[in-house]
Structure 1
Amino acid sequence: MQAQPLVPDWYSARARALIKGGDIAGLIRWARQQRGWRQADLGKAAGYSASAVSRLETGVRPATDIDMLNRLTDALAIPQSLFAAALGMAPDAPPRTTVTPTHQGGRGGFEEDPMKRRSVLGAGAAAVPLSVLTALDDALDVSPAPRAAPTPDRVVTEYRQARALFDGGDHPRLMRALPDLLATAEARADTGEGADYARLAACYDLATEALSKIGQRRSARITADRSTIYARISGSPLAAASSARALSIVLRHEGRATIAQHVTLQAAAALDAAGPSTPAQAAALAQMLCTASYAAAEAGDRERALEMIHDAERAAAQLPSMRSCHISTATVTLYKVGVLWSLGDAGAAVAAGRTLNPAQFSTAERRGRYHTDMARAWWRWGKPEETAQALLGAHHIAPAEIRDRASIRAIVTELSQRHPRAGGVRELLTLTRLR
């Protein structure tokens, strides 16, 4: 009997048929068999049980778990271009490329950047086309020439337009707009003025927040690091606080909650020591206290998390009512929902959230975030119907809050698997097209 090849022939008729049919589970099963692996072998390599691999391959478990797909495709070293084609984001028959076989623990593999494969998976689950994300990555590598003269007014105008896209949950258009926004702000900062560097840092902060939301962790880390540098050059305490907040988001997503806590506490202490003398600085301090509280909760520092969120509540209560102010008592309470949920106090999180009304938030993104935060609290509390209703509320107001956030999609998938008959679940699946 002829031994199975160690390295699969990715361009065989069978592989092409699976790719053309978009059969991701079938492609994983075929690649495993071609390597001569049992389901237990693949599970061990990817960190899952054999039964979990079996459920995915047979369709019992839908192929929507992004983390699982990341690990399985990393273990099997499925080429990025072919997996993108199976996801429908590239031609059915991408051109043959030359790859170099390597050996990992005695098993075959390919030299390919796993970060790029994760970007493909994130793009497949979200609505932002891979070509748009690739263009943004290219712009981060080599800044393009701005389309118009890089005046301060031009930077501010483009920033406001991009911010409106973020607030409205229009992530595809935002990702298309970011390369020129960053290029314009970079070109303007070449003048060396502190205010120009502060605006540039703000542009990178917006990019970081958006990239983190749609799961583009590698690019988000790049933009966060650049913001930190430019904020320091600007000499603006507000820019430094904003960049610290953006960096903490990235660090939390990297699983480095303790470092995120340190970054935010340090930034909050610097703002407090400077003695906020303007409403904008006072608002920035309240925002940093919220961020520090959430980072502490993620790090498991319960006492510090509750202390910081109470300080934020007091700070927000003293702020004047300003249209330009992005922090309010309602915003702080929404942070409190997340803090309590993260600490495991699901009931307290729900109680805090029930004091809020979505109409208190001025943007679709924040109103959608209110519903998804409540959904997470309800889900942790073991209330499937309430979870489904909260997710339906989020989808009605800001579909991107479900479509583009892997953690929320995971709740939808798990909800459908564990409670398929709960009220609202069928409607939710119909609307989101997730399984």
Structure 2
Amino acid sequence: MRRRNLLANLAVMAAAVASSRLPASGAEPGEAMLGEALVAGLRDAMLGLGGAPAALSPEQAPAELARALSDFHSYRYGSLAVRLPRLIRAGHALGADTEQYTTLAQTYVLAARMLVKLEEQHLGWMAAGRARRFAEAGGDVLTVAEAARNLAVLARKAGWGDRAMSIALAAADDPGLREVGRAGAAERGLLIQSAAYTAARGGDRQGMRQLTAEAGAIAAELGGTTLLRDHGGGISPATVQLHLISAENSAGDPAAAPAAARAIAPRSLPSVERRSRYDTDVAAALGQLGHRDDCIRALLTAEHHAPEETHARPAVKSLISGLLTSGRTTSELRGLAARSGVLT
């Protein structure tokens, strides 16, 4: 009885907190709050809390996952905040076989990517760990590798640069990737790119450029863009060059980042997600160089391409906040800050 009363009280408290932060039922949360709504939904789904699992059949789950991936690559956070937690609940309810393990692993890979973007490292570790475990159970070498890439990113964010490098390069050397053709080569390239960025964050410019060149050679050999289910940006010479913008900035050479950006035609990038990343990476480099007006223009371009991403992502909000406090403000900057929930 005491346990039931405690759970009931906790449910009432949770509902009160939710109602104080989200709009009334039937209203869409503001774009600045979509990230919080998505994190809360994923947290509860991963902890087994909340509503009953959706009635998805084993045949329906992969199609629903494809829709969630489309939401991610088009930055439809509002839709994803509903669809992705529902997929996690349904995936756990469908039972255990190889195909369902693979779908659930791919769902958790997507969840981990979103949680990394939203700087929710604790939940990110949980999602990435589950992704790898279910991918291994399903024998899906590509998803095992993509889960490892997410773990490497999380290790880097935790300050464990050597561990992040080891995770990424060990996964890239998995012989299984060489047995699955172009997709395996593309995944190897992404893992090596991740290692390059880890080198950049450690201030190793030479190592970063060597690893980026290695990833670029893989992309050039593949030719065109090789798309991957779990990473819709895939890999191409343009995406490797995109990665170099942020890597140069992180390695301590922001002046090299705009030069890297000029080598890319943004329209050549394979998704809205990648094109928005281009704009925000350029904005971050311009901000580091003190080019405020150009930085704001790049952020406004990112907002035009992907408003929900620009308004919800913590890294972008931090950049906007820094602009507000470091110099003169304009109506454009104040408007962007208001839409992002930075200025109320």
Q: How many residues align?
A: 320
1:148 alignment partner AA: A
Of 214, 231, 237, the residue aligned with 1:329 is 237
Distance 1:188 1:304, change over 3 A: farther
Per-residue CA deviation, residues 239-276 of structure 1 (Å, 9 max, x unaligned), is 221001121222233333332222111111225x8535
The Cα shift of 1:311 comes to 0.3
Distance 1:89 1:330, change over 3 A: same
- Report the counterpart of residue 291 of structure 1 in structure 2: 194
1:385 alignment partner AA: D
CA contact (8 A) 2:74 2:271 kept: yes
Q: Which runs of 5+ in 1 are unaligned?
A: 1-79, 92-122
The Cα shift of 1:210 comes to 1.0
Q: How does 1:28-427 map to 2 (within 5 A)?
A: 88-89=20-21, 126-128=32-34, 133-142=39-48, 146-151=53-58, 153-188=59-94, 190-191=96-97, 193=98, 195-271=99-175, 275-321=178-224, 324-325=227-228, 326-421=234-329, 425-426=333-334
SS of 1:346's partner is coil
1:346 alignment partner AA: P
CA contact (8 A) 2:164 2:198 kept: yes
Distance 1:242 1:433, change over 3 A: closer
Distance 1:422 1:348, change over 3 A: farther
CA distance in 2, matches of 1:90, 1:376: 30
2:307 alignment partner AA: P
- Report the counterpart of residue 18 of structure 1 in structure 2: none
Distance 1:323 1:287, change over 3 A: closer
Instruction: Considering fraction of residues, name the structure with more helix.
Output: 2
Q: Which runs of 5+ in 2 are unaligned?
A: 1-12, 24-28, 229-233
CA contact (8 A) 1:185 1:199 kept: yes
2:258 alignment partner AA: V
SS of 2:42's partner is helix
CA contact (8 A) 1:385 1:425 kept: no
The Cα shift of 1:125 comes to 9.2
CA contact (8 A) 2:183 2:226 kept: no
CA distance in 1, matches of 2:324, 2:55: 49
Per-residue CA deviation, residues 356-392 of structure 1 (Å, 9 max, x unaligned), is 1221123222111110000111111221111111111
Distance 1:196 1:333, change over 3 A: same
Q: TM-score, normalised by structure 1?
A: 0.66
Q: Which has the larger radius of gyration?
A: 1
The Cα shift of 1:305 comes to 1.9
CA contact (8 A) 1:337 1:353 kept: yes
The Cα shift of 1:150 comes to 3.2
Q: How does 1:18-29 map to 2 (within 5 A)?
A: none
CA distance in 1, matches of 2:331, 2:34: 30
CA distance in 1, matches of 2:341, 2:207: 40
Distance 1:323 1:155, change over 3 A: farther
CA contact (8 A) 2:279 2:302 kept: yes
SS of 1:150's partner is coil
